[in-house]
């Protein structure tokens, strides 16, 4: 057992202009740099200077309904993190990629190479893609059901794990004198054959520095939690209350334990979108500036999607109570992972439609906090120490300033309180997260142990 | 019409240790850096300092038969070029990607983003993947036929072109004041539905700096030439004689003209692998050093694959004449694009098996020339001026020195002769190649003209 005090993990979650849905309209946001690689390289360098664990990018495989109103589009994560890794030395990068719409051989190569090129700094956020129009972009007549997507996801993770393990660590010989480049006795075909996919061969690249990328997950449905408990080494999650986060934390750690995993190797990082001011009033005033830039037509479209509604919410009185009767009794909640969260807000706070939209505008259901640096640090410390979080998924409301102020004002307080590292102790993402490097499942010792 | 003298295009084709199959065994090659991104970044920077047009990476979607003997493995091109683009400013990058095993939506996003992140420096080498075991890595019972692969390739290029055009250039508004992020009237669904694939939606990223990546092709079969004449803006090709290269050049330019294309917008770049010495004898001695490191078991395996043979060539007397009777009368030549080239060598030079292996060891059938810098420059000038080439695909026998000596000794001679640029005149790969930036097929002017 380590005797070092438990330390926070901090992840920077980058949305192009920041997480507030109106960020791109505020003069503080660098909206004109939204497609400029140097903008993201500077943010990654800033996160590295602050000793963050990783930078994370979400993804979506189709154009969003609200593209007219707001910059809710997704940067392609894999190309981007390679451009950012080339401009940094230590910080990790987590790319979202879909088990429904990638082939395992393609993704295995892309991420194995990213791990090589970055010297072991890659994580994979495993998603099954809830966006219905994605299926049509991939030639499918209809979007696979939640159950079918998760069934394929299980096969996918199994298959891609075999690919990443297919070269044992010692298989890459590269000895000019003997002329032996690879020890083919230590390269193993994946030989995975499932109902949804199959993969025959070995990968065509030596095992990567981390063995395989860090597995990250963000599903909150029942199936998503179970999947996370089985595979995830880090989990992003959204909670509006400490109690909800605590219950999630307990539940997932228990599920992992029941599966024979070390719960310490499942890092749970709730999201936090902080508006920071030198007084609480100043912070709240700043938040109001952003909220006033919201375009209700976009917000209503987003809410409709989050709740899986069939009706158009536009035209409803924004200042009347939220029209609870519109919410279906029993939606396929799995398809809409924010459904329960939004419903809880409505029941707890009884907001008007406008109030609900503003509540969600900050970070799509993630916790938004406007306060002083001390108040932000207090929140993080409370969640960290009271069984709700191993770290925080930092979601700046706008960029770059909304992140810069966090690193300048909040991170030093976390350090003074002994909660966050002064310096990296390793150089891979596994090192930062305190995760073990997995051995290849084909390695003789492991294969023997498993056979016994 | 431009009155500037016609200029060479120079492309650096990087194989991990260099193109000679035994390069990795020679002390001049940096075999220990074969998986180190900084090695390739330095090469790209060197190519950029020499004002090369582009750096190119081949690819393969399965482990090679000869991985035991030699470093014939492929670096994943898309992740790699993003890491290299981040370390350079002007030079282009050409990534190989398969129309058989990618989905168009995935590849469209990967390459569109690479074009954004590199500020317009990307080319796509379009391949249909001849490697039979690739199919098994993608869950197919058998490898699609050559004809089926090309049928899908045509659909793929059509579909991905629609995706890259789906945002007109003016669709990305990004205006915070009005709150209009995108003009959805100028974003068009791809609406491609073919026999092999279909894609519904628009891409979820604004049109990239080059409109679309430069289309590159390297097929030499009948179907490959036709495909190239229809789509390719740059072509890589292998020839052992000036006459063969001239015939290919004439043929492809004619096919392009017949399709209504400007043949000047189809750049033809034959491969050249140069061993350079201060005397011809010194260059030839250097080549011999590499040839002596060949491992015949690997070379025979590679030859078997190049010829599509079913028999194992190992055990044949290396110093007897090449066993011509083993070559099938009528192989599916399209599956083996080097078949005719090897057959021509055998008929022309009547080599022993060992001599043939050495002939092919340098660059798998591409032209290998050992000589002084002047001799190398003479060769390039001759092919350039006598209707065999618009430029050269430079294939260093080993790396990094085999490229460094080319830039130091040969490039200045080409400049003295007025054949190659002193400085870049533009900043995109289209600029370097002198290719026009295509207008979106959905742009009103173009759509109108096509309807008329």
Q: Which of A118, A117, A59 is nearest to A91 (CA)?
A: A118
Nearest to B204 among A60, A118, A183 (CB): A60
Q: Does A87 touch chain B (CB under 8 A)?
A: yes
Whether residue A231 is contained in a domain is answered as yes
Question: Residue B279 class from Cβ within 10 Å (0-12 exposed, 13-18 middle, 19+ buried)?
Answer: exposed
Q: Which residues pair with A92 in a beta bridge?
A: A54
A279 labelled binding-site residue: no
Cα–Cα dist A426/A423, whole Å: 9
Q: Does A46 touch chain B (CB under 8 A)?
A: no
Q: Which residues pair with B236 in a beta bridge?
A: B269
Mean pLDDT value of segment A336-363: 85
Q: Is the pLDDT of residue A2 over 80?
A: no
The larger pLDDT score, comparing residue A327 to residue A443, is at A443
Which of chain A's residues have a Cβ under 8 Å away from the Cβ of B79?
78-79, 82, 110, 113-114, 117
Q: Which domain holds residue A31?
A: 9-283+366-451
Cα–Cα dist A342/A339, whole Å: 5
> Within a 10 A sphere around the Cβ of A139, how many other Cβ atoms?
18
- Taking only residues 174 to 213 of chain B, the set having a beta carbon closer than 8 angstroms to any beta carbon of chain A reads 174, 176-177, 179-184, 187, 197-206
Q: Which of B44, B57, B214 is nearest to B123 (CA)?
A: B214
Q: Which of B408, B322, B393 is nearest to B19 (CA)?
A: B393
Q: Does B74 touch chain A (CB under 8 A)?
A: yes
Instruction: Please list, in sequence order, all residues whose beta carbon lies within 8 angstroms of the beta carbon of residue B109, skipping any fewer than 6 positions away.
Output: A61, A76, B203, B204, B205
Backbone angles phi, psi at A42, to 5 degrees: -65, -40
- Taking only residues 11 to 40 of chain B, the set having a beta carbon closer than 8 angstroms to any beta carbon of chain A reads 24-27, 29, 31-32, 34-35, 37
Whether residue B325 is contained in a domain is answered as no
Q: Which of B195, B225, B230, B243 is nearest to B348 (CA)?
A: B243
Backbone angles phi, psi at A367, to 5 degrees: -70, 125
Cα–Cα dist B66/B448, whole Å: 54
Per-residue pLDDT band for A452 (boundaries 50, 70, 90) equals low
Q: Which residues pair with A93 in a beta bridge?
A: A55, A122
User: Does A63 sit within 8 Å of B202, measured CB to CB?
Assistant: yes
Q: Which DSSP letter does residue A28 get?
A: T
User: Does B34 sit within 8 Å of A137, measured CB to CB?
Assistant: no
Q: Tokens 């590499």 identify what position? A: B290
Cα–Cα dist A324/B350, whole Å: 86
Looking at chain B, which residue has its C-alpha nearest residue A207?
B35
Per-residue pLDDT band for A447 (boundaries 50, 70, 90) equals low
Question: Residue B304 class from Cβ within 10 Å (0-12 exposed, 13-18 middle, 19+ buried)?
Answer: middle
pLDDT for position B77: 98
Nearest to A204 among B73, B184, B293 (CB): B73
User: Does B202 sit within 8 Å of A105, measured CB to CB?
Assistant: no
Whether residue B42 is contained in a domain is answered as yes
Q: Does A83 touch chain B (CB under 8 A)?
A: yes
**Angle between helix A77-85 and A37-49 (nearest 10):** 60
Q: Among A31-45, A126-140, A296-310, B358-372, which is the least confidently predicted range?
A: A296-310
Nearest to A117 among B80, B114, B139 (CB): B80
Question: Residue B451 class from Cβ within 10 Å (0-12 exposed, 13-18 middle, 19+ buried)?
Answer: exposed
Whether residue B291 is contained in a domain is answered as no
User: Does B206 sit within 8 Å of A35, measured CB to CB?
Assistant: yes
Q: Which of B447, B442, B451 is nearest to B163 (CA)?
A: B442
B15 labelled binding-site residue: no
For the record, the structure tokens of B239 come out as 């020839």
A96 labelled binding-site residue: yes
Q: Which DSSP letter does residue B123 get?
A: E
Q: Which residues pair with B95 in a beta bridge?
A: B57, B124
B103 labelled binding-site residue: no
Nearest to A113 among B80, B187, B202 (CB): B80
CATH, residue A17: 3.20.20.30
* Cα end-to-end span (Å), chain B: 27
Q: How far does the CA of residue B282 sit from the closest CA of chain A (Å)?
A: 23
Assign A162 to helix, strand or coil.
helix
For the record, the structure tokens of B109 come out as 């996003």
Q: Is the dihedral of CA B14, B86, A71, A130 positive or negative?
A: positive
B221 labelled binding-site residue: yes
Mutate which of A15, A28, A82 to test chain B, going by most B C-beta atoms within 10 A?
A82
Q: Is the pLDDT of residue A450 over 80?
A: no
- Taking only residues 228 to 267 of chain B, the set having a beta carbon closer than 8 angstroms to any beta carbon of chain A reads none
Residue B235 is inside which H or E element, if any?
strand B234-237
Q: Which of B283, B402, B281 is nearest to B24 (CA)?
A: B402
Whether residue A415 is contained in a domain is answered as yes
Mean pLDDT for chain A overall:
93
Q: Tokens 């081949």 identify what position? A: B58
Whether residue B390 is contained in a domain is answered as yes
Instruction: Please list, in sequence order, all residues whose beta carbon lies within 8 angstroms of the beta carbon of residue B245, skipping any fewer than 6 positions away.
Output: B237, B239, B270, B383, B388, B389
Q: Is the peptide bond before B400 cis (omega within 30 degrees of 0)?
A: yes
| Residues with pLDDT less than 70, chain B | 1-4, 71, 329-337, 446-452
pLDDT for position B337: 64
Whether residue B371 is contained in a domain is answered as yes
Instruction: Please list, in sequence order, all residues whose beta carbon lies within 8 angstroms of the beta carbon of residue A251, skipping any fewer than 6 positions away.
Output: A225
Instruction: Please list, in sequence order, all residues whose beta carbon lies within 8 angstroms of the beta carbon of residue A38, skipping any fewer than 6 positions away.
Output: none
Cα–Cα dist B175/B193, whole Å: 34
Q: Is the pLDDT of residue A232 over 80?
A: yes
Are A213 and A124 contacting, i.e. CB atoms less than 8 angstroms apart?
Answer: yes
Chain-centroid distance of CA A192 in Å reads: 27
Per-residue pLDDT band for A337 (boundaries 50, 70, 90) equals low
Q: Is the pLDDT of residue A416 over 50?
A: yes
> Within a 10 A sphere around the Cβ of B68, how many other Cβ atoms?
19
pLDDT digits (tens, 9 = 90+) for A307-332: 878 788 888 899 998 888 877 766 56
User: Domain count of chain A?
Assistant: 1
Whether residue B139 is contained in a domain is answered as yes
pLDDT digits (tens, 9 = 90+) for A377-402: 999 999 999 999 999 999 999 999 99
pLDDT for position A233: 98
User: Does A64 sit within 8 Å of B204, measured CB to CB?
Assistant: yes
Nearest to A83 among B86, B109, B139 (CB): B86
Cα–Cα dist B61/B45, whole Å: 28
pLDDT for position B334: 47
Q: How far does the CA of residue B58 sit from the closest CA of chain A (Å)?
A: 13
Which of chain B's residues have a Cβ under 8 Å away from the Cβ of A44?
none
User: Does B106 sit within 8 Å of A106, measured CB to CB?
Assistant: yes
- Taking only residues 123 to 152 of chain A, the set having a beta carbon closer than 8 angstroms to any beta carbon of chain B reads 133, 136-139
Which of chain B's residues have a Cβ under 8 Å away from the Cβ of A28?
none
Cα–Cα dist A137/B103, whole Å: 9
pLDDT for position B385: 98
pLDDT digits (tens, 9 = 90+) for B296-339: 888 888 888 878 787 888 888 999 988 888 777 665 654 566 78
Cα–Cα dist B256/B245, whole Å: 16
A69 labelled binding-site residue: no
Which of chain B's residues have a Cβ under 8 Å away from the Cβ of A86?
37, 41, 82-84, 86-87
Q: Which residues pair with B217 in a beta bridge?
A: B126, B235
Q: Does A89 touch chain B (CB under 8 A)?
A: no
Which value, to the nearest 10 degrees, does the dihedral of the CA atoms of residues A137, A142, A143, A145 take?
-160
């Amino acid at each position: 057992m380590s005797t070092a005090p438990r330390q926070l993990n901090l992840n920077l979650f980058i949305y192009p202009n920041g997480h507030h849905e109106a960020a791109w309209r505020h003069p503080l946001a660098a909206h004109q740099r939204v497609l400029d690689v140097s903008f993201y390289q500077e943010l990654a360098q800033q996160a590295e200077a602050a000793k963050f664990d990783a930078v994370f990018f979400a993804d979506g495989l189709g154009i969003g309904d609200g593209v007219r109103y707001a910059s809710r589009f997704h940067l392609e994560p894999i190309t981007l993190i390679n451009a950012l890794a080339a401009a940094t030395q230590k910080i990790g990068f987590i790319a979202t990629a879909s088990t429904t719409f990638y082939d395992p051989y393609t993704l295995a190569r892309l991420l194995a190479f990213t791990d090589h090129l970055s010297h072991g700094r890659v994580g994979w956020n495993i998603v099954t893609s809830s966006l219905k129009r994605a299926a049509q972009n991939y030639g499918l007549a209809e979007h696979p059901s939640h159950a079918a997507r998760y069934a394929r996801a299980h096969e996918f993770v199994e298959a891609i794990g075999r690919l990443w393990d297919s070269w044992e660590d010692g298989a890459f010989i590269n000895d000019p004198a003997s002329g032996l480049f690879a020890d083919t006795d230590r390269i193993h075909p994946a030989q995975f054959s499932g109902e949804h996919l199959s993969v025959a061969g070995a990968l065509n690249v030596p095992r990567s520095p981390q063995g395989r990328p860090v597995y990250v997950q963000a599903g909150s449905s029942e199936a998503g939690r179970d999947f996370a408990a089985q595979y995830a080494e880090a989990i992003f999650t959204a909670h509006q209350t400490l109690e909800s986060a605590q219950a999630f934390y307990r539940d997932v750690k228990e599920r992992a334990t029941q599966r024979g995993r070390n719960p310490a190797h499942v890092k749970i990082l709730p999201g936090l979108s902080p508006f920071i001011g030198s007084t609480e009033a100043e912070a709240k005033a700043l938040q109001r500036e952003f909220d006033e830039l919201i375009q209700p037509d976009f917000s209503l479209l987003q809410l409709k999607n989050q709740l899986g509604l069939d009706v158009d919410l536009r035209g409803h009185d924004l200042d009347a109570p939220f029209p609870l009767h519109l919410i279906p009794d029993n939606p396929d909640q799995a398809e809409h992972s924010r459904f329960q969260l939004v419903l809880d807000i409505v029941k707890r706070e009884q907001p008007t439609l406008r109030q609900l939209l503003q509540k969600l505008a900050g970070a799509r259901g993630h916790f938004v906090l406007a306060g002083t640096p001390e108040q932000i640090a207090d929140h993080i410390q409370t969640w960290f120490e009271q069984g709700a979080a191993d770290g925080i998924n930092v979601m700046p409301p706008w960029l770059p300033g909304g992140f810069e102020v966090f690193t300048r004002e909040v991170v030093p307080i976390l350090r003074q309180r002994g909660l966050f590292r002064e310096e990296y102790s390793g150089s891979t993402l596994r090192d930062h997260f305190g995760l073990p490097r997995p051995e290849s499942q084909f390695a003789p010792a492991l294969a023997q142990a498993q056979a016994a």
